[in-house]
Amino acid sequence: METNNDKKIHTEKDEQEKINPGRRNILKAMVGFPVAGLLGFGILKKKDYDAERKQIMLKELEMDSFEYPESDYGQLKYPGDLIRIGFIGFGSRAKSLANALGFMHPTDIETRKKNNSLKNWQQQEWMNVAITGICDVFDLHAEEGMATASSSLHPGKTPTLGVKRYRTYEDMLADPEIDAVVIATPDHHHARMAINAIRAGKHIYCEKSPAIREEELFELYDTVKNSEKVYQLGHQITQSVVFQQAKEIIRKKILGKITLIETTTNRNTADGAWIRHLDSEGNLRPGDEKTIDWIQWLGNTPYVPFSIERYYNWTQWFEYDMGMIGQLFTHEFDAVNQLLHIGIPKSVTSSGGIYYWKDSREIPDVLHCVFEYPERELTLLYSGDLASSRSRGRIFFGNEASLELGSNAIITADQNSSRYAQSIRSGVIDPSSPMMSFNPNAGQIDAVTSASEKYYASRGLTTTSINGKQVDVTHLHMREWLQCIRNGGTPSANIEMAFQEGITCIMANRSYLEKRAVFWDETARKII
Q: Residue 176: CB partners within 8 Å, gap ≥ 6?
A: none
CATH code 3.30.360.10 region(s) in the chain: 239-276+313-468+493-527
Q: How far is CA 472 from CA 116, 128, 161, 173, 477, in A?
A: 16, 17, 26, 29, 9
CA 136/CA 87 separation, integer angstroms: 8
Pairwise CA distance, residues 204 & 233, whole Å = 8
CATH class of 239-276+313-468+493-527: alpha beta
In sign, the C-alpha dihedral spanning 287, 290, 296, 299 is positive
Pick the residue with more confidence: 453 or 387? Answer: 387
pLDDT tens-digit series, residues 241-263: 888 889 989 999 999 999 999 99
Stronger pLDDT, 239 or 44, i.e. the higher one = 239
Quick: pLDDT tens for 298-316.
Answer: 999 999 999 999 999 999 9
Amino acid at residue number 66:
F
Closest by Cα among 423, 330, 460 to 59:
423
**Domain ranges in the chain with CATH number 3.40.50.720:** 83-236
How many CB atoms are closer than 10 A to CB 154?
Answer: 15
What is the spatial distance between Cα 359 and Cα 521, in angstroms, rounded to a whole number? 37
* Dihedral pair phi/psi, residue 341, rounded to 5°: 55, 55
- Return the H-helix or E-strand segment holding 253: none
User: From CA 126, how far away is CA 153, in angstroms rounded?
Assistant: 8
pLDDT bracket for residue 452 (50, 70, 90): very low
Q: Residue 44 has what pLDDT?
A: 52
H-only helix segments in 61-174: 92-101, 106-114, 119-122, 139-149, 169-173
In the CATH scheme, what is the code of domain 83-236? 3.40.50.720
Nearest to 369 by CA among 178, 259, 246, 511: 511
First-last CA distance in the chain: 72
From residue 340, alpha-carbon distances to 55, 192, 289, 397 in Å are: 28, 30, 47, 13
pLDDT band at 444 (very low <50, low <70, confident <90, very high): very low
pTM, two decimals, is 0.86
